[in-house]
Structure 1
Amino acid sequence: MPPLAPLPLIGNDLVINEDSCNLSCTYCLTGQSNLKEGHSLKLIFDPPKRDDYSPASGLGKRINTVADRLGDRFGLPLLKVTGGEIFLVRGIMDFLEEQSAKYEVLVIQTNGVLVGDEHLARMRSWGNVVLQVSLDSHLYPGNSYRVQSESLHTKVVRAVSRILDSGLPVEIYGVLNDRSVGELPDFAGWLASFDNPPTFFPFPVRGPDAAQFAVRPDQIGHIEELVERYDEFSQVLPPRAYFARLLSFYREGKRTFRCHLPRLVVSSFSDGVVTPCPNIWFSDMGNILGEESENLLTKLGSSGLYQALLAPKPRLSACHGCFTPWDTLSMYFEDEITLDELCAAPTYAPPRIRGMIEHAKAEYLASSDG
């Protein structure tokens, strides 16, 4: 395969204080990652640490620099901010508001527990926020890997319901596991009952420990039932082709289809670390806060790891176990969905983002590795 062309990046997935969260999801990917020493020590399961954002605070200086260096270099139209749980950071709304003015779309991922009416009203006023909310089921048994008590689950569902009633565009990220999959159609029906229904993206549990939580072969029928009832729940579901990929993943026992995500989105951390894939934190490519930042920005897309990540067939074992809502980008590149279907999602709807994605695909098809 020849060297890759410069990346046509559309987004930065900025992870803030990933080891600090107010929930302790049993299958948490941070708790399984070996990218950093703190991940291998499973600090995500320790009591959450509060932090403070201001332009002058340590965190503030770092995340503003990380966002600006990537955003300015690539002219990014999309910023996604996630954690950990970012609403543990005092003053985080000031950072989010500052960033919302710089991008066509600001995607904010949260478990929702700490998001109040004042947060929602303020985010609505910015006009370009998409909330991605993590919830596996509206019923406690199906959400019990995410929360460890029914009382906490009730609090979570109350918070998510408030978000769904806010009028903001919302995507629900539901991890499919051996507890949640049996409630899949009921969960879709619950989400469809809201006046402003979200889009529901169910996707497999992943990471090195995924096998102990995974959907069993005898449970795949629950996903098939949802597909059979697609028309009933279509208002809250991604394109039908999404489920063809999802069922392929389970029937084949692994990912067999190509991924294009690393050519479009980079992942960065609040300590400056940059890694090429937002889904699986493979490799520390360097620190964008350090003296090597210019070299790091230059080699994005050209390292050998990108050759493996963007190969026609998944090469790495971690890739074999990966399928996420980001996959709709790859589906468009592989002609499994149309540009209109992709950009029906508010994340990709702005004309500039739509145009950049269309142009990136055209360049890919024209390249010798397309």
Structure 2
Amino acid sequence: MIDTLLGNDLVINEDSCNLSCTYCLTGQSNLKQSHHAQLIFGPPTRDRYAEGSLLGRRLPLIAGRIDDTFRAPMLKVTGGEIFLVAGIMDYLREQAAQHEVLIVQTNGVLVREEHLEELRGWKNVVLQVSLDSHLFSGNSHRVQTESLHGKVLRRIETILDSGLPVEIYGVLNDRSAPEAPAFARWLADRERPPTFFPFPVRGPDSERFAMRPDQIVHIEELVERYDELAAVLPPRPYFDRLLSFLREGERTFRCHLPRLVISTFSDGMVTPCPNIWFSNMGNLLEDDHAESLRRVGETGLYTALLAERPRLNACKGCFTPWDTLSMYFEDEITLDELCQAPTYAPPVIRELIAERKRLYKEGRDGVSCGG
């Protein structure tokens, strides 16, 4: 069994969002019955984090049981859109005090100045903001009207100017890819440039939205302009993987993410990969939660997820910003290059990643299959 994890990717009310991105992975997932129903495309539901509320009872247990078992110093909180939850700042405040890094993923629409001021004061928050382009044409798989795009962009500009560490997660699709170089230039021109991670649209329905082969040239242009745009781009080898994925039409390289990060849900469900929600390993709200967590790193699914070459179709279709962790484990980038991203920059995070890689190389990282 793995005894230490880097992080927990906690998904809160994944079916509830104030945007309806056409390529949304929750709308394509088969993990839960609610995903089959594609509730993500309906009106968002409001919820509350407070003492005595359902989330108020569940969320501290879920994060606490992961931390008690695996001592994970990193917590990523995502949705859905978490700022739809009334009182979410109370939960984030509690968790920021208990983790070295708190990652907050959002589309930015509901983030207010007072949120940013408090988040900045905690000193250990990284905002991961979803935005495909600064232009409506490239962002139109995420927002359906130009007026809504303008509102989204104004909110995100406020976030970029807040002084918080920001990572921009930009999905590459048939509409956004042609604008990727201009989008990177727009980000680089900000007073406080974020780190921009472009990655391909994925999921069972991805062919409907995927970049066309003739659009790969726009990513090649990013590489050609790397020195000009380096302030906002991930390490150069990231684009070697990205271009390989786009040219081959699938992933051909190894993933190490499940040996480092686990995914949990606000209903207590646990699944081994934050990128693709494969299977239910158990429920952290049940009496047998400890038995569920003992299976982390030891089930047959880990063998497939951590194989030298991708075995599962979902893995073959997956490439995300998490890939820089796998690149470090495969000696494609250095620790310094990995830790240029705000998520991994804190010394405690950096040291843990290096230690986990050392144990992996020695065959002693607690993963009994796929090593």
TM over 0.5: yes
Partner of 2:283, secondary structure, is: coil
CA distance in 2, matches of 1:215, 1:118: 38
Using the aligned pairs only, state the percent identity.
70
Mapped pair 1:126 → 2:112 = no
Specify the code of the residue in structure 2 equivalent to 1:342.
L
Partner of 2:302, secondary structure, is: helix
Contact 1:23–1:146 (Cα < 8 Å) also in 2: yes
CA distance in 2, matches of 1:182, 1:168: 28
1:95-174 to structure 2, matched below 5 A, reads 95-174=91-170
Partner of 1:244, secondary structure, is: helix
Partner of 1:347, secondary structure, is: helix
Specify the code of the residue in structure 2 equivalent to 1:148.
Q
Partner of 2:342, secondary structure, is: coil
Specify the code of the residue in structure 1 equivalent to 2:324.
T
Which residue number in structure 2 is paired with residue 307 of structure 1?
303
1:1-370 to structure 2, matched below 5 A, reads 6=2, 8-367=4-363
**After the TM superposition, which of the residue ranges 350-359 and 331-340 deviates more from structure 2?**
350-359
Partner of 1:13, secondary structure, is: strand
**1:78-120 deviation per Cα after TM superposition (whole angstroms, max 9, x unaligned):** 0000000000000000100000000000000000000010000
Specify the code of the residue in structure 2 equivalent to 1:122.
E
Shift of 1:55: 3.1
Shift of 1:284: 0.8
**1:228-267 deviation per Cα after TM superposition (whole angstroms, max 9, x unaligned):** 0001110000000000000000111100000000000000
CA distance in 2, matches of 1:361, 1:244: 22
Specify the code of the residue in structure 2 equivalent to 1:231.
D
Partner of 2:102, secondary structure, is: strand
**1:130-167 deviation per Cα after TM superposition (whole angstroms, max 9, x unaligned):** 00000000000100000000000000000000000000
Structure 1, gaps ≥5 residues long: none
Structure 2, gaps ≥5 residues long: 365-369
Specify the code of the residue in structure 2 equivalent to 1:38.
S
Contact 2:4–2:71 (Cα < 8 Å) also in 1: no
Partner of 1:274, secondary structure, is: strand
CA distance in 2, matches of 1:133, 1:346: 13
Structure 2 length-normalised TM: 0.97
CA distance in 1, matches of 2:222, 2:290: 48
Specify the code of the residue in structure 2 equivalent to 1:12.
N
CA distance in 1, matches of 2:41, 2:288: 32
**1:202-243 deviation per Cα after TM superposition (whole angstroms, max 9, x unaligned):** 000000000010011111000000110001110000000000
**After the TM superposition, which of the residue ranges 54-63 and 149-158 deviates more from structure 2?**
54-63
Partner of 1:14, secondary structure, is: strand
Specify the code of the residue in structure 1 equivalent to 2:298.
S
CA distance in 1, matches of 2:203, 2:35: 12
Partner of 1:235, secondary structure, is: coil
Partner of 1:47, secondary structure, is: coil
CA distance in 1, matches of 2:46, 2:81: 10
CA distance in 1, matches of 2:3, 2:138: 39
Specify the code of the residue in structure 2 equivalent to 1:25.
C
Contact 1:147–1:153 (Cα < 8 Å) also in 2: yes
Shift of 1:343: 1.3
CA distance in 2, matches of 1:89, 1:170: 21
Contact 2:254–2:308 (Cα < 8 Å) also in 1: yes
Partner of 2:319, secondary structure, is: coil
Partner of 2:231, secondary structure, is: helix
Shift of 1:7: 5.3
Partner of 1:297, secondary structure, is: helix
Partner of 1:362, secondary structure, is: helix
Contact 1:7–1:300 (Cα < 8 Å) also in 2: no
List structure 1 segments (4+ residues) > 3 angstroms apart after TM superposition.
Answer: none
Shift of 1:349: 1.5
Contact 1:7–1:301 (Cα < 8 Å) also in 2: no
CA distance in 2, matches of 1:179, 1:8: 40
Specify the code of the residue in structure 1 equivalent to 2:91.
F
Count of residue correspondences: 366
CA distance in 1, matches of 2:126, 2:84: 19
Specify the code of the residue in structure 1 equivalent to 2:166.
V
**1:312-367 deviation per Cα after TM superposition (whole angstroms, max 9, x unaligned):** 00000000000000000000000000011111222111222111111111111111
Contact 1:7–1:264 (Cα < 8 Å) also in 2: no
Contact 2:4–2:72 (Cα < 8 Å) also in 1: no
Contact 2:3–2:69 (Cα < 8 Å) also in 1: no
